[in-house]
A and B are shown apart, each in its own frame.
Chain A
Amino acid sequence: MRILVHLVAKDLLRKTRSPFGLIVVLCFPLIFAGMIALAFGHGDSLPKVRMLVANEDDGLLANGVASVFTSQQASKYFDGKTVTAAQGRALMEDGKGSALLTIPKGFTKDVLDGKPVTLTLLRNPAEGILPEIAEQTVGALTDVLDGGRRVFDKPLADLRPFFKDDGKAPADSDIVAISLAIKRGIEGMSDLVFPPVIVLESELLGNVKAAPQKEAKKKGDAPSSIFLLVLPGIAVYGLFLVADQGMRDVMTERTLGTLRRQLAGPIAPESIILGKAVYTAVLAVMAIVVIGGVGAAVLSAPVSLPAFLLLSLALVLAVTGTTAVIYGVARTERQASTMGNMIFLAMGFLGGGFIRVEGLPPAVRGFAPFTPLYWGTQGYRALLENGAGVAGIAQHIGVLALMGIVFLGIGAVALRRTARRGASA
């Protein structure tokens, strides 16, 4: 035990003398999650584009464009609001809108007449990516309208009389003729090479106020923070990178000749391997303390501490075991590093580290439960999002602990071989 403490203390002392790599790896999940949170709003709620629509036309096509942002179907992504141009501008200046779309008077008539028309989009520079989403959506809509107008030029001209309020219904023969014209239009779509007649003009609004602060969340709210949504997956991924730094030290010591020197001393190879495993686990625990501490500072809902500790312990076991297998199997430091990065990246994608597992294709999703990263990520998400306790994540803890024990066993045998190679080097 004394020797073990002595070995781990030496490794930690060395790490404190060259901490840069560890700091980078520790900061990575926090920076990554923080950037995502900043990009998608202010980290307080799932972001919606606050879209203000000033419809000055009120024609059929203008209403259609406006409804793209104000309809029930759009409410998942857009918080659409119909305003006058003056109201819209005032709201934008108060920072209460992501973008203001102005549909000019005569829009429907001009489109049907084939005259150039301009949609104006005013973006809020105080917001991150949300105005960009608005611009991309309006841009896509403009392209569709423009292409549609060109392709269906003839049928639109034929339709024009029926937009008049004279109450006269089109004859069946007219409808057949218009339908055939639309069909021919679709067939001739490849001939669409004209310059656009519907143009989107986009500009940034100056002197905008910062968005009003939302009320502080109350304890017990469901954790809806983007930061906390992203953090579990990326933190578990980061934990593998931290563990990689710890276990890599076996190879580093082999290169330095200090592994050979230790093996020439009164110390069994198993003690040296155990020392590296404990050192790796200590680094992983440090990472959990740092990342968990930041997470707790952002978190508004209570999380079960025993469940968090048990899950973290099982995860530390699993990441240490995984890295032990990698560094036991690899023959050189470079080989291990390459292999490790590939495995961690694959686990990150397959296990839901970067994209939530529910968002993965079903065929890929089936691989997720074979990765410790999946069980770690899902476990932390269950703690944060569902307020799960020990019983709720018992399966996660059990699978991770089992993976850890199996991997550590395989890794220990493989690392012993690495140590022997180091002795005879």
Chain B
Amino acid sequence: MFQVQGLVKSYGSLRAVDGVSFTVAKGELYGLLGPNGAGKTTIMSMLSGLLAPDEGRILFDGIDLAGEPLKVKAQLGVVPQEPALYENLSARENLSFWGGLYGLSGAQLKQAVDRVLELVGLTDRAKDPVKQYSGGMKRRINLALGLVHGPRAVLMDEPTVGIDPQARLNILEAVKQVAAAGTTVIYTTHYLEEAEQLCDRIAIMDHGKILAEGTLDELKRRVGGRDVVTVRGSFDAAAVRPRFEALPGVSVTSVEPGRLVLSVEGSGRGAVDLLSHVLADGLSIDGISIQPPSLNTLFLNLTGRELRD
């Protein structure tokens, strides 16, 4: 459904998106996972036609977004990161306006509004002005606004940022229902668990590039059953690096002052052997963490940083 080819977007000397390509099939829930500043929102802005790429192109069902933007936009739903609502209108009035903007009217519009109010669990508060809603409720209406016209594909840009766990659960449940109904979803997040829980396929991003892409199983296999061991202490990381590299099954992922990230073979056993070696070597260690293979360890392996860094 979506074919994204070689997208590039720069702001001055900063290359926010650097040659990104991916495809999303019809009915697929595709995740863009990466830390803040990875370029996810810039990609979403380009996918929704708000931002023109410097290079590359976006095809939706074979139609070039740059060539026929209104035709493509009519089939998309957009859920921005920050709720974009008319606060002095009710939820129903907000939904009616946005539905009408996409051509719905009369009974069809009313049905669509009722459907999405039900989906996000706000039917009983539909007549209240949005300004009386809690933050979580505003997020839910924000999601509903992107779905009211029944789009074929929805672009959701971190729709759960900054809300309480209950509201987050509601939104994730609604997203699952939307995807289950056959709507294509592109979903950005920096929460690993959201990507793991929701997405059929995930692209891991950093510094404007896709570092890895695949299903959750494919990505985990890519870690290759290797643990990620992070050693912190008052040692000279660069000086001790060769000693670790010399150990069997150990590769150094990242070296920073007082911090060494290692990829260790052996599903737990290797990490324990490494720990014994570190202690025997008399290094001044403040802490050591061992993480089993996961998206986070893959990200660590790929970038030397954790997602929350």
Determine whether the beta carbon of A267 is less than 8 Å from that of B88. no
Contact of A6 among B73, B97, B145 (CB under 8 A): B97
Determine whether the beta carbon of B84 is less than 8 Å from that of A257. yes
Given the complex, which residues of B lie within 8 Å of A265, measured CB to CB?
A: 73-74, 78, 98, 101-102
Given the complex, which residues of A lie within 8 Å of B89, measured CB to CB?
A: 13-14, 17
- Contacts A265-B73, A267-B101 given; indicate if A260 touches B85 (C-beta within 8 A): no
Given the complex, which residues of A lie within 8 Å of B70, measured CB to CB?
A: 266-268
CB proximity to A under 8 Å, residues B45-102: 45, 48-51, 70-71, 73-74, 76, 78, 80, 82-89, 93, 97-98, 100-102
CB proximity to B under 8 Å, residues A22-65: none
Name the 4 nearest CB pairs between A and B, nearest first.
A257-B84, A266-B74, A17-B88, A264-B78
Determine whether the beta carbon of A262 is less than 8 Å from that of B101. yes
Determine whether the beta carbon of A423 is less than 8 Å from that of B51. yes
Residues on B facing A (Cβ under 8 Å): 45, 48-51, 70-71, 73-74, 76, 78, 80, 82-89, 93, 97-98, 100-103, 129, 145
Given the complex, which residues of A lie within 8 Å of B97, measured CB to CB?
A: 6, 10
Min C-beta distance of A19 to chain B, whole Å: 10
A-B contact pairs, 27 of them (CB 8 A): A3-B101, A6-B101, A10-B86, A13-B89, A13-B93, A14-B86, A256-B85, A256-B86, A256-B87, A257-B82, A257-B84, A258-B85, A260-B50, A260-B80, A261-B78, A261-B84, A262-B101, A263-B49, A264-B49, A264-B73, A265-B73, A266-B74, A267-B101, A423-B45, A423-B50, A424-B45, A424-B51
Determine whether the beta carbon of B101 is less than 8 Å from that of A256. no
A423 to B84, alpha carbons, bound, how many Å? 13
Given the complex, which residues of A lie within 8 Å of B102, measured CB to CB?
A: 265-266
CB proximity to B under 8 Å, residues A342-391: none
The answer to whether the Cβ of A173 comes within 8 Å of any Cβ in the partner chain is: no
Min C-beta distance of B20 to chain A, whole Å: 18
The answer to whether the Cβ of A73 comes within 8 Å of any Cβ in the partner chain is: no
Determine whether the beta carbon of B50 is less than 8 Å from that of A264. yes
Min C-beta distance of A280 to chain B, whole Å: 18
Given the complex, which residues of A lie within 8 Å of B93, measured CB to CB?
A: 13
Known pairs A6-B97, A260-B84 / 13 extra A-B pairs, C-beta < 8 Å: A3-B101, A6-B100, A14-B89, A256-B86, A258-B86, A261-B80, A265-B73, A265-B74, A265-B78, A265-B102, A266-B70, A266-B74, A266-B103
Given the complex, which residues of B lie within 8 Å of A213, measured CB to CB?
A: none
A131 to B136, alpha carbons, bound, how many Å? 65
Given the complex, which residues of B lie within 8 Å of A263, measured CB to CB?
A: 49-50
Given the complex, which residues of B lie within 8 Å of A423, measured CB to CB?
A: 45, 50-51
Q: Which residue of B is nearest A6, CB measured?
A: B100
Contact of B80 among A10, A257, A268 (CB under 8 A): A257
Given the complex, which residues of A lie within 8 Å of B50, measured CB to CB?
A: 260, 263-264, 423-424
Given the complex, which residues of A lie within 8 Å of B73, measured CB to CB?
A: 264-266
- Contacts A264-B76, A264-B78 given; indicate if A17 touches B129 (C-beta within 8 A): yes
Given the complex, which residues of A lie within 8 Å of B78, measured CB to CB?
A: 261, 264-265
The tally of CB-CB contacts under 8 A between chains A and B is 66
Query: Of residues A17, A256, A264, A266, which shows the largest number of chain B Cβ atoms within 10 Å of its Cβ?
Result: A264
User: Interface 1/0s, chain A 294-331, versus B by CB < 8 A?
Assistant: 00000000000000000000000000000000000000
Min C-beta distance of A10 to chain B, whole Å: 5
Query: Of residues A18, A258, A267, which shows the largest number of chain B Cβ atoms within 10 Å of its Cβ?
Result: A258
Given the complex, which residues of B lie within 8 Å of A267, measured CB to CB?
A: 70, 101
A7 to B97, alpha carbons, bound, how many Å? 8
A10 to B102, alpha carbons, bound, how many Å? 14
CB proximity to B under 8 Å, residues A89-111: none
Q: Which residue of B is nearest A266, CB measured?
A: B74
Min C-beta distance of A261 to chain B, whole Å: 4
Given the complex, which residues of B lie within 8 Å of A6, measured CB to CB?
A: 97, 100-101
A385 to B87, alpha carbons, bound, how many Å? 46
A203 to B87, alpha carbons, bound, how many Å? 58
Q: Which residue of B is nearest A422, CB measured?
A: B50
Min C-beta distance of A16 to chain B, whole Å: 9
Q: Which residue of A is nearest B100, CB measured?
A: A6
A424 to B51, alpha carbons, bound, how many Å? 6
Given the complex, which residues of A lie within 8 Å of B51, measured CB to CB?
A: 423-424
Given the complex, which residues of B lie within 8 Å of A7, measured CB to CB?
A: 101
A18 to B87, alpha carbons, bound, how many Å? 11
CB proximity to B under 8 Å, residues A255-284: 256-258, 260-268
Determine whether the beta carbon of A258 is less than 8 Å from that of B84. yes
Given the complex, which residues of B lie within 8 Å of A261, measured CB to CB?
A: 78, 80, 84, 98, 145
A332 to B83, alpha carbons, bound, how many Å? 20
Determine whether the beta carbon of A264 is less than 8 Å from that of B74. no
